[in-house]
Amino acid sequence: MKLELKELQTRRGKFIEAMNRAFPQWDAALFCDTANQYYFAGTIQDALCFLFKDGRCLYAVRRSADRAKMESPLPPEELLPIASYRDIAAHLSSGKESAPLGNLYIEADTMSIAAMERLKKYFSISKIGYLDGVIRNVRGVKSEYELYWTRRCGELHRILLEERVPALLREGITEAEFMGELCRELYALGYQGLTRFHGVQTEISVGQIGFGTNSIYPTRFDGPGGTKGYGPAVPLSACTKTKLKKGDIVFVDTPFGIEGYHTDKTQVYVFGGEPPEEFLRAHKLCMEIEQYAASRLKPGEIPSKIYEEALALPQARALQCFMGVDSRHIVKFLGHGVGLNIDDFPVLAKGFDAPLEANMVLALEPKCGIAGIGMAGVEDTYIVTPQGGECVTGGGREIIRV
């Protein structure tokens, strides 16, 4: 399915309506973030994307304007080649040095102070506000175009973890060697080569991977799973020394992405043996929690309520380290939005009280660290529908024996 101008214009209209509700006095919005550039322009360049209250768009591109023209469905009048911010100001003010932007709203989470200072130099700004919550909520509800790529992504993701990974596991392979072979399979299936996060300085290589107790090694990453990684310099990678041995639990939490859109999925395996009864029980309880939460992914349901009621389930209360590698590293969410970023809105957590809407996409990831063994649990990506969550990644699987 091809990205058309009509799709971009619909997105623009949704954003303008949302801004009019949230900030009636706004005049202009500015996007530097790559995911937002792609959302509104259909390309990612060294550029600034302006949207105005009257519906105008200006995609000002320093490099490469030629590529932007080849890729973006935007009409020529909305694509402006520039050498500096001065060129944008001249374009918007008919040659004057300072262009009025009025009440300008920016991405507080991702715009640098240096970029903000350059804006102040060349533009007349009455007030600066922050639009992060608005754009993340707008992007949370997916169009049919976005759902098409989400479903396609999810099916490839299922094939990767359920069909391709088992053949890669062999005695003596290191985590790093396994990650390399996993990466080859990712690209063979059409993976886009990059996973985008909204979180600043969030880095991840291919995913969170752990053999045995490496999967419950604590990390700075805000997720329930763990990984020992390469070491202090690159903690969210794969260990070059840990080798797979019989009886090991293998934890693979990896994103997948095509055409900018992501899905998130986790699969647990056991190599050359049977998992301990305690681990089997924890994994089964996590599967039941996922099924419960998925049944609640309907329009009108409240994310914070789903979260609180899931934590109150007997299955969750029976797990000592539910949603963490141990009792000191517990995350405070059950699921998260997925889209152009892997950590999108909405989130199943306290404070997210706006009702779910049809065609939102969320990953559910109930997990539990089992001391001395590894990380149990599941993760799958779902679309919100009136019938409950539509799983696009295959559904929570039992432990795969290899």
The reply to whether 261 and 148 lie within a common domain is yes
Q: How would you write the pLDDT of the chain (402 residues) with one tens digit per residue?
A: 999 999 999 999 999 999 999 999 999 999 999 999 999 999 999 999 999 999 999 999 999 999 999 999 999 999 999 999 999 999 998 755 567 899 999 999 999 999 999 999 999 999 999 999 999 999 999 999 999 999 999 999 999 999 999 999 999 999 999 999 999 999 999 999 999 999 888 888 899 999 999 999 999 999 999 999 999 999 889 999 999 999 999 999 999 999 999 999 999 999 999 999 999 999 999 999 999 999 999 999 999 999 999 999 999 999 999 999 999 999 999 999 999 999 999 999 999 999 999 999 999 999 999 999 999 999 999 999 999 999 999 998 899 999
The reply to whether 126 and 206 lie within a common domain is no
Q: How many residues does the chain have?
A: 402
Q: Which two tokens stand for residue 274?
A: 């049977």
Interaxial angle between packed helices 132-140 and 5-22, expressed in degrees from 0 to 180 and rounded to the nearest 10: 130
The reply to whether 99 and 214 lie within a common domain is no
Do strands 46-52 and 57-63 pair parallel, antiparallel, or not at all (unpaired)? antiparallel
The reply to whether 147 and 267 lie within a common domain is yes
The reply to whether 87 and 155 lie within a common domain is no
Mean residue pLDDT of the chain comes to 96
Query: What pTM was computed for the model?
Result: 0.96
Which DSSP category does 384 fall into? -
What are the angstrom distances between the C-alpha of 343 and each of 241, 255, 261, 338, 348? Answer: 30, 11, 12, 6, 12
Residue with tokens 């202090």: 232
CB within 8 A of 7, min separation 6: which ones? 73, 143, 145
End-to-end CA separation in angstroms for the chain: 37
Interaxial angle between packed helices 303-311 and 277-295, expressed in degrees from 0 to 180 and rounded to the nearest 10: 150
The reply to whether 111 and 150 lie within a common domain is no
**End residue of a domain, out of 88, 112, 138:** 138
What is the CATH number for 205?
3.90.230.10
The reply to whether 117 and 103 lie within a common domain is yes
Identify whether the C-beta of residue 103 lies closer than 8 Å to the C-beta of residue 28: yes
Task: Name the E strands within 334-396.
Answer: 335-337, 344-348, 361-364, 367-370, 374-377, 380-383, 390-391
CA 40 from centre of chain: 18
pLDDT at 205: 82
3-state class of 349 per DSSP? coil
Q: Round to whole Å and give the CA distance between 8 and 73.
A: 8
How confident is the model over 155-174, as pLDDT tens digits? 999 999 999 999 999 999 99
The reply to whether 37 and 161 lie within a common domain is no
Q: Round to whole Å and give the CA distance between 201 and 194.
A: 14
Cβ-count burial 104-131 (b if 16+ within 10 Å, e if not): bbbbeebbeeeebeebeebbebeebbeb
pLDDT at 279: 98
Identify whether the C-beta of residue 19 lies closer than 8 Å to the C-beta of residue 29: yes
**End residue of a domain, out of 109, 138, 167:** 138
Interaxial angle between packed helices 34-41 and 132-140, expressed in degrees from 0 to 180 and rounded to the nearest 10: 60
Q: Round to whole Å and give the CA distance between 305 and 302.
A: 5
Which DSSP category does 334 fall into? S
**Counted domains in the chain:** 2
What are the angstrom distances between the C-alpha of 314 and each of 3, 62, 127, 297, 310? Answer: 46, 56, 50, 20, 9
**End residue of a domain, out of 77, 105, 138:** 138
How confident is the model over 315-369, as pLDDT tens digits? 999 999 999 999 999 999 999 999 999 999 999 999 999 999 999 999 999 999 9
Do strands 380-383 and 361-364 pair parallel, antiparallel, or not at all (unpaired)? antiparallel
Residue 43: give the domain boundaries: 5-138
Which DSSP category does 3 fall into? -
Per-residue three-class SS string for 40-80: HHCCCCEEEEEEECCCCEEEEEEECHHHHHHHCCCCHHHEE
Q: Which helix (H) or strand (E) is 398 found in, with range?
A: none
Other Cβ atoms less than 10 A from the Cβ of 159: the count is: 15
How confident is the model over 68-100, as pLDDT tens digits? 999 999 999 999 999 999 999 999 987 555 678
For the four alpha carbons of 332, 151, 70 and 10, in that order, the dihedral sign comes to negative
What are the angstrom distances between the C-alpha of 7 and each of 31, 89, 309, 385? Answer: 18, 28, 37, 21
pLDDT at 202: 85
The reply to whether 156 and 171 lie within a common domain is yes
The reply to whether 163 and 122 lie within a common domain is no
The reply to whether 128 and 166 lie within a common domain is no
Other Cβ atoms less than 10 A from the Cβ of 213: the count is: 20
**In this structure, which amino acid lies at residue 98?**
S
The reply to whether 116 and 153 lie within a common domain is no
What is the CATH number for 112?
3.40.350.10
